[in-house]
Structure 1
Amino acid sequence: METEGVEAVFLTTHNWGRAAQFFQALGYKLDFETDHNSGQLRNGDGPYVFIAEVPEDQEPQTRIVLKVPDADTFQPDPVVEVVTPFADTHYGTKEMTVRDPDGRLWSLQGTAGN
């Protein structure tokens, strides 16, 4: 089964406020902010950007999130290395992690029973 394109970009940062201001200066609008230094921004109908603050001892990361139509029925091709199978997230979706041939990690995200 195939993915349906880029759903989101997940970023971690050492300073949520500065990161949010940066994206707002590029035309992104704040969809929502959490009470734990994270939030979601969007620019038009394209993928959203979710930014979460991490401690200084963690290196900021970027993860591309691909959309799947239904996490419960999605079966990746055997050539795709599954690092972690679909699992429920605390934000109401299911997420799987896969590794590409160069070692990069990708997230696949979908809802259950779509």
Structure 2
Amino acid sequence: MSTEGIEAVFLTTHNWGRTAGFFQSLGYRLDFETDHASGQLRNGDGPYLFVAEVPESEQPQARIVLKVPDADAFRPGPGVELLTPFEDTHYGTREATVRDPDGREWTLQAPAK
């Protein structure tokens, strides 16, 4: 089984409110905000954007998340190195990590069982 495109972009930031405002100014709407300086935004039917605040000591990061419809049916093809198998997340999905031939890591996200 293969991926089905980009599910989401995960971003970390030093200022949740300022970053959420930035994306809202670009036409994103707030789907929800958590009580720990994070939230999800969406613009149309495309991938969602999840933003989480991190301490100043951490460098802000961006991560592209690819959609997998069924974690149990996923089999990595040639050139795909599976770094971590699918595991349940605290936010109700299952995620795995793979590495491409150039060493970049990619997150795969599937629905929870």
**1:36-62, CA deviations, whole angstroms, 9 ceiling, x for partnerless residues?**
000000000000000000011111110
Q: Residues 28 and 41 of structure 1 are in contact (CA less than 8 Å); yes or no, is this contact kept in structure 2? A: yes
Map of 1:79 onto structure 2: 79
Map of 1:35 onto structure 2: 35
Map of 2:18 onto structure 1: 18
How many angstroms does 1:84 deviate by? 1.0
Does 2:49 match 1:49? yes
Q: CA separation in 2, counterparts of 1:101 and 1:14?
A: 31
Q: Which runs of 5+ in 2 are unaligned?
A: none
Letter in 2 for 1:36: H
> Across the two proteins, how many residue pairs are aligned to each other?
113
Letter in 1 for 2:2: E
Point out the more displaced range, 92-101 or 28-37. Answer: 92-101
Letter in 2 for 1:13: T
Q: Which runs of 5+ in 1 are unaligned?
A: none
Q: Residues 92 and 112 of structure 2 are in contact (CA less than 8 Å); yes or no, is this contact kept in structure 1? A: no
Identity score, percent: 76
**1:77-105, CA deviations, whole angstroms, 9 ceiling, x for partnerless residues?**
14201111100000110000111122211
Q: CA separation in 1, counterparts of 2:99 and 2:62?
A: 14
List, as ranges, runs of 4+ consecutive aligned residues in structure 1 with deviation greater than 4 Å.
none
Point out the more displaced range, 62-71 or 100-109. Answer: 100-109
How many angstroms does 1:112 deviate by? 3.9
Map of 1:66 onto structure 2: 66
State the SS of the aligned residue for 1:10. strand
Letter in 1 for 2:27: G
